[in-house]
Structure 1
């Protein structure tokens, strides 16, 4: 009983035990923690639960042949839980993660021992190394001894004590050479000393050495140098200028006194010793401030000088000096004579020199910062990278990275524009707050506008996050994010170069690099990974694969039928962030598959094998070619034509008549089949050889497997910004696409017998030739094909000799919109056709000679020239010759040429009708019967080489989207190209094209680049084909093309900023309920402040669809608002008359008469009242045809309030609400949310709304 009671009394309360647990287990203090816990567990009789010596008793026992609960079992569980409680209370969050799921004290102890014991062994080695390397240096023996003993105590605490012999040896080694003789005596002593005795003797020896060699602190002038100036007299006098006394106490200053006062120390304020022997001297010197230097300078000796020149006395023991001229202390003339020599060459602590700061200012060095946040998300670093010179297939130009300071974990988000940052920021903060149950406390970034704008700052303020910025031009203050950029970019580029993946996949590479970096151990985190630090889970590396290698994903679910392949070779492009799968890219279809069922061939890289004949840099050269010239989508100049006389007979010989053995296509015989196989293809095309050496053949061979494989890889993905077009034939050495395009063009020329090689005439003009390259794009901006065109240099043609007539018509934009509107109203399908090498079909009557094509010079007849048998692109008469050939065929087929627009051809046969729009070689075909369209397309194909492009979707830069209600016309891609040309792809949008206060005047500073101004304004003018809301602003900019100013360019930039905000807007065409012609007319009287001419505008609707509009300045000055309004009505009426004539030819004239709306009652009264007015006599009689139209019943005029006058948008700048209201009424809207089908076919079911009846009479 006594023993039991004694044991109970020795146990400590649990609260006391928990209070005694001062050391929490971490990765660096396992043995400290173990030494702390073992005595406590033993005191509580719980040690057996930890070391396993007290096993778990059985749950039940048998008493009197009956099973009963075992009390020992329950008692063991209670004691074990007490041990578990003590262990858990001594763990950090990091250590708790190691024991999750463990229930007994033994299991917990074993797990912690396995996780942390090896780390403590490394610490033991580190402490012993520190002990051996410790030296006294300039510190005192006491300080050195305390550091030495502290390390020894740490080693003892972790179970590795240092022996007295080792202590003595290492302690004496660290004392240095000053104690060398004394150390030798200690080593040779017979009886070894304890460390305490050794330390005491060392301190005594230090005091002895200080007595023999008193120190002279560098900051106090205790010893003054002797000077030998004109001084004489007694020793008492010499003591003032030449004594060797120390300190300020002059023992020779008063020799008459027989007794001396005891020495007084000025440092510790006590008697008995001087300052140089004060025991507190060293500590006082170390803490002396600079302000005391003035007083210390007076400890130097006195100097007497009779020289006339000002003299400086340098105090060798001070950093403050003396002069006998007070005017010299601020005149460092000598230093200025030396070109402001560095102060460190003269004085150790110089004063600030203003000229030096102006001439030699530089950035201050940064101190190493090893601090790290204490918890996740306490500090997050962020930075935005870009813009990238290469835009990805998905349109990304930037990426933003967030870095957690505690774990170094990184999150990467790609961006298309900087404006997306705010959305990404919100997404990131919600993600980490949900996943980590923490909020970001401090957000570190640079001072970019994406971080400093009011929206972002308001967001941070509402969320309680402190926003911290780096100083301007001080990127090092945001060093975590900047270094992370370098790590990600370098890792990503290394993977791209290794696998030779096209640079357009840089987002995939950078995302994969971030994924890998987050899971790799780093020294900064004590060989742990950021992933492990953030989630307390060791990452797995079993799913890592080589970026860019060949992968075979399981694709049976995507197969079109049961016999299709179950997999295809793809390219591994990283890890899907929201899936447990791999990203497998199929370059042939530009499709990305995400799957976990994939087989990898990590030794085969498809892009490497497909480009083995090129080096790494050549894979990306096409991206850095010369910049493309900027112009609206167009065909050859429309106002060029030639004589229309029938072509004369020409020899039947073609390009290759002189060399029948030359082959332009690979032979189909068995002998030549091997030459076209992938395994035997030559890495160098004959064309490339012909650029450097005399050619052996005028053809190139496009059979290389390398060319084909690179072609489908490069063209597989859409590009939101157009790659530059090659401007020199030398780029063909880098890109096989253009080789194939040139060969295709050359083959077409050969097929059409375009020329005959003849000897060079001596007295005839020879026209030059050149290659022109162009990339054709799909509506989504992706590359459709590479187009090479051989053109004649028509600018060298001589009028009257090489050409006569050149005019050739092109279709009007209003005609296109009217035909499209009729197709929507009547529910007709729209087809798009393209004529291959259209100009080659035109016949010329003149004799024209041309140089042989570059790169295709016949090796046997290098001095011959080409006598043209057909029209060629670039000839001035080529457009006219082609249009004559096409119109002749169409008229013979049964079409009639429209008198309103010669580029519109109309076919009528009973109840069958077709419309054909011609813009050089681009054709739009529509009609009321599909069989009729099909038969005509077949016949046209027999006459010319055409491509049936299917349903109309992209025509002259116009993007046509088919919706359930009609059509949506836009120019999104073209607008993006304009913004890229102006460098405003990331500009901030504005709500209106012009401010109500903006004015265009001639005054101002001339703009430095008028060519750029004209280029941008011309591009904007073409953009108005589908954007009537831009008409007034663009018209104002067009009036200053001859001499633009800086203000004009700023206004053009505002127009572009408005385009940026409405980049996807376009015209909507729908089926009307009551088809009719409705016009709006308006004028702004004396709008121009310089000429006081009025601005007029009108808009004309056909069945509710806007088909025509205009915004112009009137050519003459109007003397009243009535006159300007009436002239505007005349222009609108003229356009309505033209539309009426066109619809009459199309047999689609609405039954109701057109209506013209005007908001000026005086103009309306004049148009309706035939009585002459004196106030109207000044109006030109030509404008009175409006009255004749009204009187004849061909036009109806009505009044409309100004607030509903849509034409007002074409005459002046409007405030935002009114502008947006009129823009919506003009049917300029964003694209429909849901499109019908896949843009291949318009809704062609019978319309449910009234249609325009076709009048065949």
Structure 2
């Protein structure tokens, strides 16, 4: 909160107003314990002293010449002054409006995430129940057009020599935006020296006060003592500033005198008489192009090239609706549901005997001070395809505070690979097998600890002891948040699975199989999510029954969604469709592209991209000052680049091979992304917008195992390395693909293709191994390549041109000799992996996308 004052004697009134406002928001029981300040006389007597005595608030003074003792306030004053100075310079409004600039700056500052509080929003922390609205954030001092209030109608119309009742007289008034009020926006009308409050306003953020009105300057004949710096740095004499000196502040120079409330009974649509304004939308309020303070979301939707400030992006980051703490959950409107979720979690803890309440230890076994770790609650509204599914509460320990040293084998826990998931689903679809999805509740709580770990008693746990702080929880089972919890759970489940007849695979520990003659069962584990399939339904039921005797399992039946992949199965047609429409929609919404225009391809063609890259390289060779470089780095930080890349990586790795190459390219520039890089990300998002319904279609039409391998020589201009890609199809379904930059620099196209074939062969062996484990079948794979020289190198020694390659890069040759893989040449127009190694034009891209997705 900020209060503008003319004299230091007004500090008491402002402080009393602050206390009232704080109690209105926090409740009448809110208590201020201490007031820390410098040794200014305004805090040692007068009304401030009366308030401190009445409210029993302690007063702490910072020693003289030590502003660091009151660093938060001192630094914030400087931060606020810099912001206000910039706003006044940018808008060129009269300096007499400095107090309004302060209020506007504080309003925006309180609604921006801050690093010091883990990027939480201060106002949201202060009042958890409030919903942050950011669509009202505007450029300070920009032009604003408002319907003429009734109180001003006669005056304004007479000045224009018109009749107030004239149907064609002026209805709108040009004003200047100067702040935020509860009813909408605070506007300043320079001609009448009046304030107007209204919510029916149109803004033109491309123009500011100084572009239309002449900013009043200080008379040059004034004495030097009358000239001042609005926010000059404090000096040693500031503490002794008299009230007469305070009168020299600009707060009373030509200050507007009247405030008018706009008549909001008539909507803005009547003011401008346009059909497009029947519904009030954010975009309809903007008459000009966005300024630097415009919303990042709007910039994404309109696909403009305006640069956005990092702070604005953070300010407009999505505000979490889930409670961030136990206290916040208990104060939320959904308190009853969160209490039920907490009770369910604690009941599960009790059922699994997760801890014992013991005396707080002083020393551990090694004679060192005992490490007692605290915990926190994580709340999440879980949703499915139909909306809200349940309110979930999870108690997690702050494992990063665990001072124990662990070896890698104590913390590593495997998870199933996505290509294993797709392979298993393709097998089930091909042979019309039943699939059962299961979920283990509070899975980590089943793991047994082998170390002594202590935890503070968490919120929500009631104990009948007089001194709660003297007791702690000694963990008996693994709990979410510990580094060793995943390993403990995996070890526990593996032991139980083997006891019911399932055998964990040596190469893929999350793949469990059972076989007896021609009957087989396969279980796939991904942390606490499971898929169980096979051709013996009775054995499946028996395994489920035995697992349920040990673990608390939710049986979900046929899978509808697994690891964020939505599954639609048509057993009559023997078809299965995997897609991530909901996940892709969330990505678009997260980055403000839900209403963007669409594009036919995720990336521009090679010629256009290469020309842009060469231009960038030429620009980088030019000498640039350190100041310019610093500005460029700051501009690069404003993009949510890594978040977008990370979101897209999971999408392309699960169901969307058609964007693999484009995502691989943008992932190479995560350190210093430019505006051009961000434009490429937005192009991918626009492509997703038009292809939300795309995914993997399994038909199981053949018995073949086919792979395609390709490489683009020196595709990466910065490093000279090539890009390789492969596609593997089983039963006519695409089950595995990958796009990657090669780890070595190839000296020729032949080298790049030869190395790419070796990488593809490794992936083929993994698929063949899964087929052999599940179906007990040996299927030879045909590996297709469109480079005859690379194929010839497999048949021959390759001669001197392959002498420089390492032994592991000749892997493809040894594998073909075993008969597991056969190689074949295909023309470039039938090379399916082309879509993974180069940007293709529309028709060529559509053709390969249709083939690789089975989308015909």
Superposition TM-score tier, normalisation by shorter sequence:
0.5 to 0.7
Q: Residue 640 of structure 2 aligns to a residue in which SS?
A: helix
Q: In the aligned structure 2, how far is the partner of 1:1082 from the partner of 1:359?
A: 55
Q: Please list, as runs of the form range in 1=range in 2, the aligned pairs for 1:1059-1098 lying within 5 A after superposition.
A: 1059-1072=688-701, 1074-1098=702-726
2:664 is matched with 1035
Q: Is the 2:269–2:278 Cα contact (8 Å) retained in structure 1?
A: no
Q: Does 1:1136 align with 2:764?
A: yes
RMSD over aligned Cα, in angstroms? 3.2
Q: Residue 998 of structure 1 aligns to a residue in which SS?
A: helix
Q: In the aligned structure 2, how far is the partner of 1:757 from the partner of 1:1163?
A: 67
**Cα distance, 1:1183 vs structure 2:** 2.1
Q: Is the 2:342–2:460 Cα contact (8 Å) retained in structure 1?
A: no
**Cα distance, 1:965 vs structure 2:** 3.0
Q: Please list, as runs of the form range in 1=range in 2, the aligned pairs for 1:731-1130 lying within 5 A after superposition.
A: 731-734=329-332, 735=334, 736-762=336-362, 763-780=369-386, 782-800=387-405, 805-858=410-463, 860=465, 861-863=467-469, 864-963=471-570, 964-996=573-605, 997-998=608-609, 1005-1006=632-633, 1007-1009=635-637, 1012-1024=640-652, 1025-1072=654-701, 1074-1130=702-758
Q: Residue 1190 of structure 1 aligns to a residue in which SS?
A: helix
Q: Is the 1:803–1:876 Cα contact (8 Å) retained in structure 2?
A: no
**Cα distance, 1:753 vs structure 2:** 1.4
Q: Does 1:1187 align with 2:798?
A: no
2:117 is matched with none
Q: Is the 2:698–2:854 Cα contact (8 Å) retained in structure 1?
A: no
Q: In the aligned structure 1, how far is the partner of 2:738 from the partner of 2:400?
A: 34
Inter-CA distance 1184–361: structure 2 relative to 1 (3 Å threshold): closer
Q: In the aligned structure 1, how far is the partner of 2:515 from the partner of 2:763?
A: 25
1:1210 is matched with 836
Inter-CA distance 945–1122: structure 2 relative to 1 (3 Å threshold): same
Inter-CA distance 362–1055: structure 2 relative to 1 (3 Å threshold): closer
Q: Please list, as runs of the form range in 1=range in 2, the aligned pairs for 1:607-686 lying within 5 A after superposition.
A: none
1:293 is matched with none
**Cα distance, 1:362 vs structure 2:** 8.4
Q: Is the 2:584–2:651 Cα contact (8 Å) retained in structure 1?
A: yes
Q: How many equivalent residue pairs? A: 544
**Cα distance, 1:779 vs structure 2:** 2.8
Q: Is the 2:269–2:277 Cα contact (8 Å) retained in structure 1?
A: no
Structure 1: where are the runs of 5+ without partners?
A: 1-338, 340-357, 373-445, 449-473, 488-625, 631-721, 1231-1257
Inter-CA distance 1065–878: structure 2 relative to 1 (3 Å threshold): same
Q: Does 1:1164 align with 2:761?
A: no
Inter-CA distance 1217–773: structure 2 relative to 1 (3 Å threshold): same
Q: In the aligned structure 1, how far is the partner of 2:796 from the partner of 2:395?
A: 62
Q: Is the 1:628–1:725 Cα contact (8 Å) retained in structure 2?
A: no
Inter-CA distance 1103–1150: structure 2 relative to 1 (3 Å threshold): farther
Match of 1:726 among 323, 334, 344: 323
Q: In the aligned structure 2, how far is the partner of 1:1016 from the partner of 1:871?
A: 33
Q: Residue 840 of structure 2 aligns to a residue in which SS?
A: coil
TM-score normalised by the chain length of structure 1: 0.41
Q: Please list, as runs of the form range in 1=range in 2, the aligned pairs for 1:156-195 lying within 5 A after superposition.
A: none
Q: In the aligned structure 1, how far is the partner of 2:852 from the partner of 2:548?
A: 39
Q: In the aligned structure 2, how far is the partner of 1:369 from the partner of 1:747?
A: 73
Q: Is the 2:725–2:833 Cα contact (8 Å) retained in structure 1?
A: yes
**Cα distance, 1:743 vs structure 2:** 1.1
Q: In the aligned structure 1, how far is the partner of 2:554 from the partner of 2:664?
A: 37
Q: In the aligned structure 1, how far is the partner of 2:142 from the partner of 2:586?
A: 46
Inter-CA distance 789–802: structure 2 relative to 1 (3 Å threshold): farther
Q: In the aligned structure 2, how far is the partner of 1:876 from the partner of 1:628?
A: 33
Q: From the CA coordinates, give the structure whose radius of gyration is larger.
A: 1
**Cα distance, 1:899 vs structure 2:** 2.8
**Cα distance, 1:1010 vs structure 2:** 6.2
Deviations for 1:69-95, whole angstroms, at most 9, x for unmatched residues? xxxxxxxxxxxxxxxxxxxxxxxxxxx
Q: In the aligned structure 2, how far is the partner of 1:779 from the partner of 1:1224?
A: 26
**Cα distance, 1:833 vs structure 2:** 0.2
Inter-CA distance 485–1057: structure 2 relative to 1 (3 Å threshold): closer
Inter-CA distance 482–1088: structure 2 relative to 1 (3 Å threshold): closer
Q: Which has the higher strand share?
A: 2
**Cα distance, 1:740 vs structure 2:** 1.2
Q: Residue 838 of structure 2 aligns to a residue in which SS?
A: coil
Q: Residue 1139 of structure 1 aligns to a residue in which SS?
A: helix
Deviations for 1:466-497, whole angstroms, at most 9, x for unmatched residues? xxxxxxxx96654475886589xxxxxxxxxx
Inter-CA distance 754–1092: structure 2 relative to 1 (3 Å threshold): same
Inter-CA distance 1125–484: structure 2 relative to 1 (3 Å threshold): closer
Q: In the aligned structure 2, how far is the partner of 1:822 from the partner of 1:740?
A: 41
Q: In the aligned structure 2, how far is the partner of 1:1123 from the partner of 1:1107?
A: 27
Q: Is the 2:500–2:546 Cα contact (8 Å) retained in structure 1?
A: no
Q: Is the 1:803–1:846 Cα contact (8 Å) retained in structure 2?
A: no
Inter-CA distance 1011–1159: structure 2 relative to 1 (3 Å threshold): same
Q: In the aligned structure 2, how far is the partner of 1:893 from the partner of 1:744?
A: 29
Q: In the aligned structure 1, how far is the partner of 2:746 from the partner of 2:733?
A: 32
Inter-CA distance 801–1093: structure 2 relative to 1 (3 Å threshold): closer
Q: Is the 1:745–1:789 Cα contact (8 Å) retained in structure 2?
A: yes
Q: Residue 725 of structure 2 aligns to a residue in which SS?
A: strand
Q: Is the 1:914–1:933 Cα contact (8 Å) retained in structure 2?
A: yes
**Cα distance, 1:1071 vs structure 2:** 1.9
Q: Residue 760 of structure 2 aligns to a residue in which SS?
A: helix
Inter-CA distance 757–971: structure 2 relative to 1 (3 Å threshold): same
Q: Residue 870 of structure 1 aligns to a residue in which SS?
A: coil
**Cα distance, 1:829 vs structure 2:** 1.4
Structure 2: where are the runs of 5+ without partners?
A: 1-94, 96-140, 149-155, 169-201, 205-267, 282-313, 363-368, 621-631
Q: Is the 1:1096–1:1211 Cα contact (8 Å) retained in structure 2?
A: yes
**Cα distance, 1:1170 vs structure 2:** 2.7
Deviations for 1:249-302, whole angstroms, at most 9, x for unmatched residues? xxxxxxxxxxxxxxxxxxxxxxxxxxxxxxxxxxxxxxxxxxxxxxxxxxxxxx
Q: Is the 1:900–1:1142 Cα contact (8 Å) retained in structure 2?
A: no
1:310 is matched with none
Q: Residue 1099 of structure 1 aligns to a residue in which SS?
A: strand
Inter-CA distance 1010–1144: structure 2 relative to 1 (3 Å threshold): farther
Inter-CA distance 1198–859: structure 2 relative to 1 (3 Å threshold): same
**Cα distance, 1:1116 vs structure 2:** 1.4
Q: Residue 609 of structure 2 aligns to a residue in which SS?
A: coil
Q: In the aligned structure 2, how far is the partner of 1:483 from the partner of 1:629?
A: 28
Inter-CA distance 486–1222: structure 2 relative to 1 (3 Å threshold): closer
Inter-CA distance 1088–361: structure 2 relative to 1 (3 Å threshold): closer
